[in-house]
Structure 1
Amino acid sequence: MRLIPPALARSIFRAQEFLLRRPTFSMATELERTQHLSRQEIQNLQLQRLGKLLHTALAHSPWHARRILEAGLDPENLSWEAFRRLPTMSKEDARHHRDGMVWREAPGGIYRYNTGGSSGEPLIFYFGRKRQAADAACRIRARRWWGVEPGDREVLLWGAPVELNRTDRVKALRDRLCNQRLLNAFEMSEARMDAYLDQMEAYQPKVIYGYASSLALLAEHAKKRNRIPHLPELKVVFTTGEPLYPHQREIIQHVYGVPVAREYGARDAGLIALDSPAGQLLVNSEWIIVEILDDEGNPVPDGQSGEVVITNLASEAQPFIRYRTGDWAYRSTESCRQGRGLEVLDEVIGRTTDVIVRPDGTYMHALALIYILRDIPGIQQFKVVQEIPEKVAVFVVPEKKQWHEDNTERIRQGLQQRLGGDVAIDIILVGHIPPEASGKHRYVVSYVGAVS
């Protein structure tokens, strides 16, 4: 496996961003400065950029323009109180009114993307160069907190197509030139995972990045094999795409021997927050406004949970303004322990599809069920699927040497204690649980509270 010097890979990455007319590195340099502004100064910067976004929306996005005018917002004279008069927008709004949102002549062109559709129909939307650069710059800044620079060797455990078209092949070549190696999260057989561990040791990455579930699955396999990879250059493992559960953090840290940091974002909403070495999830406040709202759309007090509603200040090509993400989170009562003016999220619970709904309407964190199943010996893998509140299907891959027939009843009783005795628990023993279409290996999926 040929290794490219990090300095050369960094130069290639810079040249790529320049040729694509993305101001990624100038944005990253600016972020190094603005993160040390006070909270008030960052809020002033947000209002300034919000005014520019509203100006753009008024001129180029008829659907948003109508809402802005009806709410009586003046981009030249904004306040947070006035901003909150603007109604929130949903995924259904973004789906059905896309043509009334998109600025097709945005500088640098627009680029079609789609979400994974884990809670229903995928959402098709458009990026501009500004949004792409802002996401990349925020990621560069967060990597630097951990001593990682663009061009440093990186392994990605990620969903990847089996058949590569011409565009995929070009991307694969670009990734290699920029010192990124992709391991396919769709292919997680024992033989393939053995090969992944070999490839990691041969490549010696400085950072590993991937789905929390896939990284935990690989770590569990390594521990089972008594095969702890020797990775002396590794600084940090970044997890993304789904909640990081405590048992996943524990096994990943144990096997890879470095801290685990979360990356929180979404394709449509943008890169929202990343973990700092001080163990706090810091919002990219210069480019993302985060509101935590209750069911009636009112702000919840710090330390209480609510829905994450974002405004992406770089989303001029298709504005996402007061956009309901369908995620639940807590805003921290703390400020940044390292003196930055960035906002802090205490915990991201996950999507509505990660939250179980009891028949009485009570919402329950997925961990309530995960802990029950993890405490029963003989379960190699599992997945809980809820279609309706009154019924839950549990798919189990049994560990043959440790599995006992009475485990079925233990699972049923444990879950009914959490969900209610009237809930039907259908337990299905299988030889393999395939990943989601995205490549994620999700423990709990509920379609009851899914936000459209």
Structure 2
Amino acid sequence: MNLFETTLRLKGFPIREAKKRLQEIQQLSETEHQAYVHDARQKIFDFHLRENLFYRDFIGDALFEKWEDIPVLTKKDLQIPLKKRLSQGFTKKNSYTSNTSGSSGTPLFFAKDKFCHAMTWAVIIDRFGWFGIELDTSFQARFYGIPLNVKDYQKERLKDRLSNRYRFPIFDLSEEKLEEFLSIFRRKKFDYINGHTSSIVLFAKYLQKRSIILSEVCRTLKYCITTSEMLFPTDKFLLENQLGVPVANEYGASELDLIAFTNEKGAFQINTETLFVELLDDNDQSVPFDTAGRVVVTSLFNKAHPFIRYEVGDIGVMDEASTVKEPILKQLIGRSNDNAILKDGKTVPGHTFYYVTKSIVEEDGNVKEFIVEQTALDAFTIVYVSERELTEKEVKKANQSLTQYVDGDLNITYKRVEVLHRNQSGKLKQFVSKIDLIQEN
């Protein structure tokens, strides 16, 4: 018996039908797939225009000759009670409802109809299957946060047991705790690791310090799947070396679906079965290949709630090797709203500060992890966890790199801490602007 899929069916999610529909879509030819996406996106748009009062008010009386003319929907547009955004015939009781972590700002409460949610799981099952991972039988080492209140804590622990996974809580990542993690890997026969990128990277750095290859300690370990945060090439190299297994990356949005996943060829393949993904410029028009654009997604199956040309909040680059059926995300750069605004009015993506700093301060393995905080138009603080304080020479080198790539008139300070703050889900926000908070006070 497949306990995982049985549980989904008992909760009213038609996973068998969803897997069958997914298989039908995957069997379409390139030309047929293009027609399928074109037809599916138009049908879901027409449905919500007819059945969803919120979306009808959002669109207004305008008529659109081209898909590209349909207005982009943002999280700001959705900041009204969920019940006012549901389509006719859908309620919180007959839909799947949840909320985002709020890592990009205000948490978003959302809904999916039950077939749509089943399609989400069908895609996840399919993608993990690319690497021989069975959600029901493969034993997962889960690097995630966990609620601290007793009721939700016990609920998550029960879900872990039913889902054949062991959770490594990541709010305490001290060396003592990482040593405990290692001892658990020695005892348990994990098939794969899944969890937040930064915490798994930190564990890999600990293994590197101890000169340990994890797959030699846990010989059943086959894969690592990172999620929720950026996976830099240097980090992927570190993970594959220290874990001793291939690393796949997962990019998704809980309100939507799994957006992209590393395929068997190592490419970051976009989900075109249940989503239509666009990369847009500031005028809401598609950008060419190899050009950065805002990630905008249409959910092709969600009838309970409209996510049509919905801006996720990330910046990505499409590979020129992309096809209609298998588009490839060449690069996922970071959050579109994580920008640093400088004194001269210049706007710089926050990931620039993080990436430039990373290339300097992590060279010798002293700095375990860090975040960048903007505290004023010309002031930034690098908050870091390390074995020792950064030397004057290291600070000077990092400052030189930042002023070279970003601006020559910056006030940069460094703050060493024991642990970095993660949100409730365990996600680490790598760039934080505190300017709005300062101005509000």
Q: Same fold (TM over 0.5)?
A: yes
1:358: Cα distance to partner? Answer: 5.0
Tell which deviates more after alignment, 291-300 or 439-448.
439-448
The question of 1:20 aligning with 2:20 is answered no
* Alignment match, 1:218: 203
Partner Cα separation in structure 1 for residue 227 and residue 337 of structure 2: 16
Please point out which of 303, 309, 333 is paired with 1:316.
303
Deviations 1:6-32 (A, max 9, x none): xx5xx2112101111212243234334
* Alignment match, 2:77: 93
Matched-pair identity in %: 28
Residue correspondence of structure 1 range 16-415 to structure 2 within 5 A: 16-68=7-59, 70-72=61-63, 82-96=66-80, 98-103=82-87, 105-106=89-90, 109-151=94-136, 152-165=138-151, 168-229=153-214, 230-335=217-322, 341-352=325-336, 356=340, 358-359=342-343, 360-363=346-349, 365=352, 366-375=354-363, 378-400=366-388, 403-415=390-402
Tell which deviates more after alignment, 142-151 or 94-103.
94-103
Number of residue pairs matched by the alignment? 429
Partner Cα separation in structure 2 for residue 59 and residue 200 of structure 1: 53
Q: 1:28 to 1:354 in 2, by over 3 A?
A: farther
1:129: Cα distance to partner? Answer: 1.9
Partner Cα separation in structure 2 for residue 195 and residue 351 of structure 1: 33
1:333: Cα distance to partner? Answer: 1.1
| RMSD, aligned α-carbons | 2.7
1:357: Cα distance to partner? Answer: 5.0
Q: Structure 1: which 5+ runs fail to align?
A: 1-7, 74-80
CA contact (8 A) 1:71 1:85 kept: no
1:341: Cα distance to partner? Answer: 2.6
Partner Cα separation in structure 2 for residue 97 and residue 72 of structure 1: 27
Partner Cα separation in structure 1 for residue 365 and residue 249 of structure 2: 29
The question of 1:432 aligning with 2:434 is answered no
CA contact (8 A) 1:67 1:86 kept: no
Partner Cα separation in structure 1 for residue 268 and residue 27 of structure 2: 16
Partner Cα separation in structure 2 for residue 153 and residue 428 of structure 1: 39
CA contact (8 A) 1:385 1:444 kept: yes
Q: 1:248 to 1:174 in 2, by over 3 A?
A: same
- Which amino acid in structure 2 is aligned with residue 226 of structure 1? S
Tell which deviates more after alignment, 379-388 or 239-248.
379-388
Q: 1:429 to 1:171 in 2, by over 3 A?
A: closer
CA contact (8 A) 1:384 1:392 kept: yes
Partner Cα separation in structure 2 for residue 129 and residue 257 of structure 1: 39
Partner Cα separation in structure 2 for residue 172 and residue 46 of structure 1: 39
Specify the SS of the correspondent of 2:252.
strand
CA contact (8 A) 2:378 2:411 kept: yes
CA contact (8 A) 1:357 1:449 kept: no
Partner Cα separation in structure 1 for residue 316 and residue 17 of structure 2: 31
TM-score (norm 2): 0.88
CA contact (8 A) 1:22 1:129 kept: yes
Partner Cα separation in structure 2 for residue 424 and residue 376 of structure 1: 24
1:375: Cα distance to partner? Answer: 3.3
Specify the SS of the correspondent of 2:403.
helix
Specify the SS of the correspondent of 2:103.
coil
Partner Cα separation in structure 1 for residue 436 and residue 129 of structure 2: 37
Partner Cα separation in structure 2 for residue 113 and residue 15 of structure 1: 21
1:224: Cα distance to partner? Answer: 1.3
Specify the SS of the correspondent of 1:84.
helix
CA contact (8 A) 1:353 1:448 kept: no
Q: Structure 2: which 5+ runs fail to align?
A: none
Q: 1:354 to 1:217 in 2, by over 3 A?
A: farther
